[in-house]
Chains A and B, each alone.
Chain A
Amino acid sequence: MENTVEINVDGKDYLVSVKAYDTLSRVLRDELGKFGVKRGCDYGGCGACTVSLDGRAVYSCMYPVQNVVGKKVLTVEGLASNGDISHEALSEIQKSFLENGGLQCGYCTAGIMMSTKCLLDKNPSPSLNDVQEALAGNICRCTGYGRVIESIFAAAKQLREKK
């Protein structure tokens, strides 16, 4: 049995047809074409699917989409201004990851950037422990996290200076 629900994603409202127990990641990717939201483990363990829900990082692979009604979803595709992908339009977080080598294969990166977005919005001056806690749910097999953490601190500094 399918329901039609209205959800707000990256600043726009969408009417989507969903099954009884559809997950947010399935709907974001298959119904709305938000392929920036990655499917990693599909089990709430790797963090590749992380999105922001009302400013809080959640695993979209295990979030029931029908609980999203009335909330705002932000995906990695909503980080840049107006969905533009030119360098100037990228967010400080995205620029920082590019400039500081905070990615290799890139598969975990979308999820890590969304965890970063949620962290820095709440805590513009995080400590190393704060960053580590924020990243505890995002697995990266490539980078060893060193440059990821450098990218996050660089982004935090840029954002503070911008304010």
Chain B
Amino acid sequence: MPVFRPNEFFLSKDKKEVIQKLKSEGKRAHIIAGGTGFYELAKRGYIPEVKSVVSIMQLGLDYINEDSDHLRIGATTTLQTLLESGIGDSSGFEAIGDALREIRPIQVRNVSTIGGEVCISVPVVDLPTALLACDAKINVIRDDQEYEAKLEDFYIDAFLTKLKYGEIVKEVSLPKRIGGNLHSAFVKIGRLAYDFNLINCAVLMSSNPSSKKLDSLSVYVGGIGRKPIRVSEFEKKLLGKVPEERDINEAARSSFSKSNFLPSVHGSNEYKHALLPVVLRDCVMKAYKRSLTS
């Protein structure tokens, strides 16, 4: 296995310096935030070519702000800080709270950052699925500019995002229009309480107060593909109905019958096919109960 032996740990409070460093070093540099994901990559020999470890922890990106339209969470905000902020308890963003509580243990939540969770782009992490359901966007800094992108468009493949050399994710933003009668939920199945996921699911929905039927539904699933996917075919089968277990099982079965899921040593394609209806049912019903009781 290749050994990770960088020459340099670059730490600066100046965004321009950091960006310049990343641009000039190209693939020889790698951003580190909290370092939990970075440690996995380094220990497993995935980044032997990296000679400069570039820390973004002193760039002042640990914040949670809001403006008229959005909640804005700085990229180096830790998951525990985000959990303690209470954002995940508010209507529409419950999936984020659910996902944060499922990311254990606290030693990891105290160090992992939202930026790292978003950028590592591996199928086994949890927060991106919840953020996708809540229609998150990312703001990226490049030279003197910033640009915004939908999180959904950010992922290309496992370990591959659209981030270019010299770019840093500055913040994750959540639209405040998600609230009111919108409710969300996140469910995960892993081998252990503090494990990575085998499958996870996040749902955002609204239901009609009188008919109780689903008015809107978006469902994302992680762990079955190389990146989280929106399961539109499944959504269409439930829209306009009162969700019931029988319908959810049938929708899950018929939407994925021909799919090959990402296998791992902990869960084969067949095992994940068996798990998926359970996860979808639990997640949809969790969000639906919240929509009924609000």
Contacts and interface: CB of A to CB of B under 8 A. Distances in A.
B107 A47 contact: yes
Contacts of A105: none
B89 interface: no
A137 B106 contact: yes
B8 interface: yes
Contact of A56 (B36, B42, B104, B110): B110
Contacts of B108: 44, 59, 137
Contacts of B4: 21
A58 B108 CA distance: 7
B107 A58 contact: yes
A69 B36 CA distance: 18
Nearest to A22: B9
Nearest to A3: B9
B248 interface: no
Contacts of A62: 35-36, 39, 111
By size class, the interface of chain B is 20 to 34
A54 to B, nearest CB: 9
A69 B111 contact: no
B15 to A, nearest CB: 17
Nearest to B7: A1
B283 to A, nearest CB: 22
B104 A63 contact: no
A43 B193 CA distance: 17
Interface string B16-45: 000000000000000010111011001100
Contacts of A57: 106-107, 110
Given A21-B53, A137-B194, A53 B110 contact: yes
A138 B55 CA distance: 28
Given A44-B107, A69-B11, A137-B105, 8 more contacts: A21-B42, A50-B107, A56-B80, A56-B106, A58-B110, A63-B111, A64-B32, A64-B38
Shortest 4 CB-CB contacts between residues of A and residues of B: A137-B105, A62-B39, A136-B105, A56-B110
15 contacts: A20-B6, A20-B8, A21-B9, A21-B42, A47-B105, A47-B107, A56-B106, A57-B106, A58-B110, A59-B108, A62-B111, A134-B106, A136-B193, A137-B105, A138-B105
